[in-house]
Structure formats: C-alpha cells, structure tokens
Chains A and B, each alone.
Chain A
Amino acid sequence: MSESFLYQAVVYLAAALVCVPFAKKLGMGSVLGYLFAGILIGPFVLGFIGEEGEDIMHAAEFGVVMMLFLVGLELEPSAFWKMKNRILGVGMSQVLVTATVITGIGIAIGLTWQSALAVSLALAMSSTAIVIQTLKEKGLMNAESGKSSFAVLLFQDIAVIPILALLPLLAVTSPDASHGNHGGGLADLPAWLQTIAVLGAVGVIILAGNYLVSPFLRIIAKTHIRELFTAAALLLVVGIAALMQTVGLSPALGTFLAGVVLANSEFKHELESDIDPFKGLLLGLFFIAVGASINFELIGKETLTIVGLTLGVLITKTVILASIGMFSKLKTDQNLIFMIGLSQVGEFAFVLFSFMNQTQILEPHLIELMMAVTAISMATTPIFFLILEKLILPRFGTKEKDDKTADEIDQQHKIIIAGFSHFGSTIGRFLRANGIEATILDNDSDRVDLLRKMGFKVYYGDATRVDLLHSAGADQATLLISAIDDPEITLHLVEVMNKHFPNVELMIRTPHRFYGYELMEHGVKNIYRDSLDTSIRLGVDVLKKIGFRSYTATRAGQNFLNYDETAFKQLFEFRKDQKNYIVRVREQIEEQEKLLQNDLQVNPTTGDHAWDSDHMRNVVNSKV
C-alpha cells in the first residue's frame, strides 16, 4: 500500500512539475497544465494510474473541500451582504434559468421529469476551482466580470445544500443499499428522514463553528506550537469532511459552511495561511484526477453522443449566461469573460452525480455519460479562455487605437502606468496636471472606457503580456510605473520587463516591505511602499495636533521617511545574510520588533542640534 502510494506520489508530482510550467510558458493557465498532466498519466495515454481512478478522485476532491473552506473564510457576513443583490440577481437567475431549460430539454428527449430535474441541477453548476483559479491568475477578480462570476459561483455553492436535501425526494425506485453505496449511511433511511438529516448536519456545523471551534483553537494557540495549530486546522477540515460523508453529504459544502461561520473568528488569517498550501497542492491533484478520469474508452465508443451532449450543455449554459450578463448590463468583453468562464460543468456535478448514483435517481450508464461530459467541459474552459484572451479580447481593447494609426508615434509616450485603480489614477492625474501624458495599461474594461472618454491613452488588457507592452511602446519608454494592486502580478510584470525591456527604468508600488524585499531581489531600485508616506503624513499631523511646531513636525516626518527607507535597505541586506524565509508570520513580528528597537536607539526625528539655542548656550556658558 505504502509502496504504491509512494509510486503514485512520484507520478503525480512529476507530471505536475513537467506539465504546469510548460502550460504556463505557452501562456495557458495552470489549470490546463494540470488537466494535461492528468490525461498524460491517465489510463488512456501512459497508463501510470487508472485502476484507482475512483479513489484518486476521492482524495483529490479534498482540494475542492479545502478551497471551499477558504472561500467560506473569505466571506465575512458583511462582504456577503454587500454582494447580496448580485448573488441573488445574477446567481439565482443563472441556476434557476439553466435548470429550467435543461429540465425541459431532458423531458423532451424522453427522461422522466425527476431524472431531468436532477441532471439539470447538476449541470447548472460551474467549477469554482477552475473559474476562481483562472480569474485570479488573470487578475480579473475585481473587474465586473470577476465580481459577477464570483457571485454566481457563490450562489451555486450555497444552492448545493438545498439541492442535496432535495435529491432524495426525487428518487423513483426505493433505495437499494447494496448498490453503489460509498459509505453514505443515509441511503438506507426513508427520503424524508434523509432530508431532515441533511438539514440537521448543517445545523450542527453552524452551532459547533460558533461555540466549539473558537475556544478549541484558542487552547491550541496557547501552546505556541505552530505545527499543532496546522494540525488542528487540518483536523477541523478533515473532521467536517468526514462528518458530512457519514451522513452522505458533500464534504465541500460542510467545510464551506464552517468557513463562513469562522470568517469572523480571530483565527481567520491563521487558518487561511495554514490551509492554503494544502489547498493548492490538492487542487492541482484534483485537476489531474479530472484529466485522468476522462473515460476515453467510453468517449471512443459513444463519441457522437458525448460530443453532442457536451456541446449542447456548453452552448445552453453559455447562451443563458450571455443573456444574464446582458441583462445585468455587462460590457460585451466583460460578458464574454463571464459567459466563457462559467460555461463548464463544475466539480459539484461529480458530487451530485455520485449522490444520484447512490440514491439511484439516474441509471448508471447515463451517469457515466454525464461524468464524461462534465470532465470534458471542464477541460474546454481553459482552452476557450486562451482563445478569448489571445484572439478576441485584444480587438476590444485596441479598437480605438486602430482608428488612430496616424498618430501612432504620438502614442509612444515616454511613461507607462500599469494599473489605474486609485493609486495609479492619482499618479496619472498628477502627471497630467503637469502636462505629461502617460500611456495607461489596465484590465478593467469599464474603467478603460471611462478613461478614454476623459482623453487618456489607455491600452486594455493584462499588463504582463509582452505583446500588449510592445504595442504600448514599452521598447521606447523611459519609465514604467507599476500601480497594480496585486503584488504577485506586480512581481510577474517586473520579471517580464526585466526579461524583455531591460532598458526601461521601473518604478514599482508595493503594499508593504515584504513584497518590497522580493522586488529588491529582482533588482528594482525605485520601490514605493503604499502606506509609508501616508502614515507618516498622518503621524506628522498628530504631532501638530498635540502641540508640536508645524515645521518641527514636518522635519521629523521627513527624517523618519529617510531613516525608514535606509532601514528598509539595511534589513534587506540582513535578510540576505540570514537566508531565513521560512516562517513568514513569525519573521514579520521579529522584524517589527527590530524596527521598534532601532527607532528608539536612533531616534531619527531629533537627531540634530539645528537652531537649538539651549545647546549653544550650554557650550558658551560652560567655557566662561
């Protein structure tokens, strides 16, 4: 067992390590890389894995379980409340309309209404894993398309609870315990009892999350043993998953709920950072498993049926999403991202289909067909996205540029600003107020429209794309300013610039000193930490309010700024020597301590005797 486990681990890890960087290099997302890795090592290509396909799927679903726990953690009730219109409007209409239409089609092609409804609910789901991962990679989470997609996914994640509760009621034949029972102990119970059990389990999670978990974590935290906390976090997720599985419910849902319940707890961020690496790995495993579980034998036998079904599902979903997008007034390009992004059938469908298998709502052959459709549809999304990004979206962004080819040279400004949210727009406005027109790169099409109306030269798209940088004139620019919010994307941009446009001087904004260190490692000289100047300015005003002379306070601020920039560079050297990058959280605290001690020793604010007549008087009088 352990031998085969090691063997499998080697196969999976090696496949991922080969395929993902390769996919990235080709400009495809990591999701597509994992899927290819899965197909490659799956039973139909290299055949390294396969017999255990089902089991891999189970293990891999754990990545989804963890992801939903993290999605839940991110969802503070207040944030949830802010999104309620979008979730209910866009999200609910997507599920209801899609389910209704597919049920109709299902009945039309001869399914019973129960089967048609069950299938339609499963097919209405989209893949949170694929969509979130892709949107994050493209930096689209805060664009209109990203927000709408997230709202739909959220509604779906929540909708699975009532759907799972509802499914037993759709079972036509009486459940047969001997058939396809994956340990879901509920299948033996009558339908109404199953429904109650489902609601009961949800209730247990909410109550325990509120009253048991936090005190438990507090006790663990007091031991100050870090790995114990990680163990506790894992136990929490695994425990909930196990509980849900024994009552025959989706573990993903249970952990999602637990995440929401814990979103307001003081351990939110620790849980997040502890679970995150596991999630990343297991999610990758999940995508590999999806790739491996695509049943090419079945596809070979029933090619036409499966291709037809897949296309049918994709087209139906896309058309419905497109209408919803139009109805909610998304711009055409944002709507394209929205409808392509959510067009696949998601991982929840696997859960729902296997549940249907247990409860015998659908006949096994149909379920197998549907599983294949689901897996293939998941594989299509990254490909469609690639086509969308490379071929279609650029047309939207550069339409106006084409009209103005005449003054192309005029557009090759000397300064490029990447990212035009609050930070970047202030820089742009300031430069413009001084008669300097910068070229702007931004990937939020609504903002791009507005900026164009205001007369800015804006290029739409992902600023890390070399072709976009080229057309924006990066090869002739003297300065590139990065005002991008996401530090990871910023880092990527720096790498791209260093590689392709090494002569452009970079001026990079970064949220705080730790990303700043990474920028320094990439050789960036001009680093601007977001909060530094503002917080010092506020501090200066505090000094003034409590009676410091205005000029003294201002000088103290200027000195502190200089001192902090120097300390920043010194600590970078110190870090290089230490080579101690492992425990980030602890390191941050240590560094804060070091800074505070330094501040006291150096006292950068009053380190001079300028205009200090006391000092002069003392010297003069001591001589007499």
Chain B
Amino acid sequence: MPKILVLFAHPRLEKSKINRQLLTVIPSSSDITFQDLYELYPDFNIDVEAEKKLLSEHDIIIFMHPFYWYSCPPLLKQWIDMVLEFGWAYGPGGTALKGKWGFDVISTGGTEEVYQHGARNRFTIPEFLAPFDQTVHLCGMEYLPPFTIQGTHRLSTEEIDEKKLSLGKLFQGLLESKWSIDELKNVELLQQIVG
C-alpha cells in the first residue's frame, strides 16, 4: 500500500472555512502522514533533516494549501527551498525522490470561470501550477493534475459537502492503488477521476 504525505500550509487555519472542513475527510490511517507546516514551524525554521526523512518514507507527496496570489503560502515555498536539497532531491546524485508522485490540493476564492484564457485571471490553474509541476519533475517524480476547490467565497453547504466527499474518495482510491499513473495523468483535474 502506498504511503501518503500531506504537506499542509495555511497561515490562519482558524479563520478558514474550506480547508478546515477538507481536513476532516483525510482518512486517519497509518499510511497517511499529515504535516501541519505552520503549526510545526511558526518561526519558519524548518527541520530539514526530519522533513527529508519523512519524504523518503512516503510515496505520494501532496501539497495542500490555499492558492494565494497564484501560488502557495510562503512557508511552503520555504519548505521547498530548504528541504529539496541539491544532491539529494535533484542534481548529481539527487535521486532520493525518484519515482514518487506529487500533486497539489488547492482552494481558490475565484471560480473556475475566472481562471480561463480571456477571463480575469487570464491563465488556467494547471498553467499557474507550472512551477510546482517543474519542481516535482526536476526531482524525478511524477506530477499529477491538481485537486481544486474553487469559488470558495460563495460555495453552498451542499457544494462543500460534495467536494469533501470527492476528496475523501481520492485519498481512499490512492491508498488502494485504484488508478494507474497513466489514468491519473489523463484527467485535467483529479476530482474528475473520482467521479
């Protein structure tokens, strides 16, 4: 059974509507490790060795975060800068992460409609996620399409419940190796494969 590492970054979780609810559907399993980065490193002083050890012990790495200014909150970027070391994660001899899978679970205030060419945000979500895509790629990992929850400011309770159900199923399916890598890479957004 694959092991999943969730790198969760939210600077003000206590004020969040969506992410707090999403967290409730992550199955509690010995195969899932949940790293609440802002809780662990409030001073941004990341324990690099501990994080590297965790990475080695897991097969699927999930970056779970709100999508702030078309990117991740700063602590997650700090994490990327510090943990993905040259010669370990990439570069000569940097093969520690080779073959693992990685993807983003993000929430955006704007709706799907505004993340389109010609719309207010001018680019699509996968386009905005190019830096993550390439980061994961450079580490020799497979980058999967993202799981997105969009238009969060106006989601109804039913819509939120639907999203939660969908995310829960995704975790369950990943744990059970329900989908091949090709199947996963074949969809535009991961919620589409859950159905």
Contacts and interface: CB of A to CB of B under 8 A. Distances in A.
A613 interface: yes
Given A617-B17, A617-B153, A621-B153, A550 B12 contact: no
Contact of A613 (B16, B42, B43): B16
Interface string A519-554: 000000000000000000000000000001111111
Contacts of B15: 611-614
A553 B12 contact: no
B131 interface: no
B31 interface: no
A553 B43 CA distance: 11
A551 B18 CA distance: 19
A616 B43 contact: no
Interface string A588-624: 0000000000000000000000111110110011001
Contacts of A614: 15, 17
A613 B38 contact: no
Interface in B1-58: 10-18, 38-40, 42-43
Contact of B12 (A554, A611, A621, A624): A611
A612 B68 CA distance: 12
B109 interface: yes
A550 B36 CA distance: 10
A550 B39 contact: yes
B11 to A, nearest CB: 5
Interface in A223-247: none
A294 B179 CA distance: 106
Contacts of B75: 551
Contacts of B109: 613, 616, 620
B39 A554 contact: no
A620 B40 contact: no
Nearest to B15: A612
Contacts of B12: 549, 551-552, 610-612
Nearest to A540: B42
Contacts of A551: 11-12, 38-39, 42, 75
Interface residues of B, number: 22
A616 B12 CA distance: 13
A610 B68 CA distance: 11
B135 interface: no
A547 to B, nearest CB: 9
B152 A554 contact: no
A360 B68 CA distance: 96
Contacts, number: 53
A611 B42 contact: no
B11 A613 contact: no
B154 interface: yes
A571 to B, nearest CB: 29
B152 A549 contact: no
Contact of B38 (A550, A610, A616): A550
A549 B42 CA distance: 9
A616 B17 CA distance: 12
Interface residues of A, number: 18
Given A554-B42, A554-B43, A616-B109, A549 B14 contact: yes
B11 A553 contact: no
B92 to A, nearest CB: 30
Contacts of A621: 153-154
B38 A549 contact: yes
Nearest to B14: A549
Contact of B42 (A550, A610, A620): A550
Contacts of A624: 154
A549 B15 CA distance: 10
A557 to B, nearest CB: 9
A616 B153 contact: yes
Contact of B154 (A552, A611, A620): A620
- Identify the interface centre among A549, A617, A624: most chain B CB within 10 Å of its CB: A549
A476 B75 CA distance: 42
A80 to B, nearest CB: 44
B15 to A, nearest CB: 5
A548 B13 CA distance: 10
Contacts of A617: 17, 153
A553 B66 CA distance: 20
A548 B12 CA distance: 10
A497 to B, nearest CB: 34
Contacts of A549: 12-14, 38-39
Interface in B106-145: 109
A613 B75 CA distance: 18
Contacts of B10: 611
A610 B10 CA distance: 11
Nearest to A554: B42
B17 A613 contact: yes
Nearest to A617: B153
Contacts of A555: 42
Contacts of B152: 613
A542 to B, nearest CB: 14
A609 to B, nearest CB: 9
A438 to B, nearest CB: 25
Nearest to A614: B15
Counting chain B CB atoms within 10 Å of each CB, the highest count among A548, A551, A617 belongs to: A551
Given A617-B17, A620-B153, A611 B11 contact: yes
Interface string B54-72: 0000000000001010000
A430 to B, nearest CB: 16
Contacts of B154: 620-621, 624
Nearest to B38: A551
A553 B12 CA distance: 10
A554 B12 CA distance: 12
Nearest to B16: A613
Interface of B: 10-18, 38-40, 42-43, 66, 68, 73, 75, 109, 152-154
24 contacts: A549-B38, A550-B40, A550-B42, A551-B11, A551-B38, A551-B39, A551-B42, A551-B75, A552-B12, A552-B14, A554-B42, A555-B42, A610-B12, A611-B73, A612-B12, A613-B15, A613-B17, A613-B66, A613-B152, A613-B153, A614-B17, A616-B109, A620-B154, A621-B154
Given A549-B38, A551-B38, 15 more contacts: A548-B14, A550-B40, A551-B75, A552-B12, A552-B14, A553-B42, A554-B42, A554-B43, A610-B12, A611-B10, A611-B68, A613-B16, A620-B153, A620-B154, A621-B153
7 shortest interchain CB distances as A-B pairs: A554-B42, A611-B12, A551-B38, A551-B42, A550-B42, A550-B39, A617-B153
